[in-house]
Amino acid sequence: MSAEICRDRDNLYFYLRLYIYVSSFTPTETRAVSMLATLYVVRMLGLFMVLPLIAVYSADMTGATPFLLGLAVGAYGLTQSTLQIPMGWLSDRIDRRWVIVFGLSLLMLGSVVAALSSSIWGVIAGRFLQGAGAIASATMALVADYTRVEQRAKASAIIGGSIAIAFGLALVLGPTFANFGGLQGVFSVTALLATAGIGVVCFLPKPDRRAAASRDAAVGFQRNRLAEVLSIKSLNTMYASIFALHFLLMAVFVVVPTGLESEAGIAREHHALAYLGALVFSVPGIYLLVKGRRYIQAPTQTLLISLTVLLLGLVAMAIGGFVATLVGLWLFFTGFTALEAMLPSLASIYAPESSRGTAMGVFASSQFIGVFFGGLLGGLLLELSGTTGVWLGMSLLTLLWAIVLGVSHSTSPETSNAA
């Protein structure tokens, strides 16, 4: 009985904290943040849903090779990384909402191109177009326009959480939609999601750009900000880490879908259940790794533990077989999702307050560059040395990452100060 009372009390405290966390927003902030979080979910669903599908559903397309399949997986990362800064610059000069509508229109157009294509080159062109809708910088700037300074971290955390939710949903919904309409059907759903996102933007309240301009003037945007954020050792470690993390993700998904079929014997129409199971079972491990924000007090130790879990997942999937593949997928998602949650938080802590936006822009660009090169080189490894080469290459990359993290991050003076 006492255990039930304690559990009920803990639940009450949780919901009370959640209420206090959200209720500190004004009505306008609540509306804007919830709509922008929804927009992020819609957009990331569209980009991520094809991730577990391209390797198996595009293999029989005209001109398909393992290298080109990898390029199709990661193509959107190149245009995302190169256009984030120009789109952000444009959003500083015109209404950010129009920039976001333009970006979502490119996502819709790219999805239509890919949906109508019968060759792998058409899919690649569509993915490049999807990525050209690089609205992350404009959207995060819009968050700043809508929120007070003291509420901005909460707003960013909510939107960051929505991205993690979108990733999990995409791995389940993508294969589910593909069961009915194949890869073209999933691209069609993405086009509809982009259209829905445009509708969301139309209902956003008009931001107070004068308040944002006064904040910018108060901070005084110096030209040397980029040089500043590139000179901080702990930040450079975070840039390299997010690059490596998304490099691994894209390269792994060049071979995971076919591995579920060939190694685990799971038919493609049941892949959604495999991903869902791995994601659900990864939740306790993720909670243990990030609970109490212990990664802030002991960043190197916590990051290395997460990397070890991720590496064990890679090794298990390389071994193959039904059990090893599913256990490997579970461990990989546990390590990946924990790192995905910790790295942006640490980067924002290590960044100087006056240059935090610039630092997070570099961080986002590093992530998308990793997406592109991960898909590209994952496909190249698959073409040259088969699945064994991909698993071996990714395992070696993870080991190298762990070594660099242990050496450079633990000795960084900024790390100890921030923590």
Q: Is 280 helix (H, G, I), strand (E, B) or coil?
A: helix
Q: 224 or 392: which carries more pLDDT confidence? A: 392
End-to-end CA gap in the chain: 40
pLDDT average, residue stretch 296-311: 87
Across residues 103-130, what is the average pLDDT?
Answer: 92
Over residues 329-353, the mean pLDDT reads 83
Please tell me whether residues 154 and 167 are part of one structural domain. yes
Q: Are 150 and 77 in contact (CB under 8 A)?
A: no
Boundaries of domain holding 130: 24-220
Do 138 and 248 lie in one domain? The reply is no
CATH number at residue 342: 1.20.1250.20
The answer on 231 and 111 residing in a single domain is no
Choose among 246, 301, 330, 263: nearest CA to 74: 246
The reported pLDDT for the residue numbered 102 is 92
Domain boundary among 196, 220, 244: 220
User: Is there a single domain that holds both residue 195 and residue 290?
Assistant: no
Residues 215 and 227 both lie in one domain: no
Structure tokens at 90: 């444009």
Read off the pLDDT band of 145 (50, 70, 90): confident
Cβ neighbours around 284 below 10 Å, total: 10
Domain-embedded: residue 10: no
Q: How many structural domains does the chain have?
A: 2
Domain boundary among 183, 201, 220: 220
- Taking a C-beta distance cutoff of 8 angstroms, is the pair 221, 155 a contact? no
Pairwise pLDDT comparison (93 vs 366), residue with the higher score: 366
> Is 9 a domain residue?
no
- 92 shares a domain with 62: yes
Residues 354 and 413 in one domain: yes
Q: How many percent of the chain have pLDDT more than 70?
A: 83
One domain for residues 95 and 237: no
Bigger pLDDT: 297 or 12? Answer: 297
What average pLDDT does the segment 198-204 reach? 86
Concatenate the DSSP letters of all residues of 170-227 into one string: HHHHHHHHHHHHHHHHHHHHHHHHHHHHHHHHHTSPPP-HHHHHHHHHHH---TTHHH
Q: Which residue, of 195, 220, 245, is where some domain finishes?
A: 220
Within-domain flag for 152: yes
Q: Please check the confidence at residue 13 and state whether its pLDDT lies above 90.
A: no
Q: Which segments of 322-355 does DSSP mark as H helices, in order?
A: 322-350
| Residue 353 buriedness (CB in 10 A; 0-12 / 13-18 / 19+) | exposed
CA distances from 413 to 226, 229, 301, 351, 418 (A): 20, 15, 16, 13, 9
> Residue 355: what pLDDT?
66
Write out pLDDT tens, residues 265-300.
888 888 888 888 888 888 888 888 877 666 777 788
Q: Does 394 share its domain with 369? A: yes
273/195 same-domain check: no
Residue 243 lies in a domain: yes
Q: Do 294 and 341 sit in the same domain of this protein?
A: yes
Whether residues 215 and 249 share a domain: the answer is no
pLDDT at 62: 87
Cα–Cα dist 93/272, whole Å = 43
13 domain residue, yes or no: no
pTM for this predicted structure:
0.79
- CA 70-72-74 angle, to 5 degrees, is 70
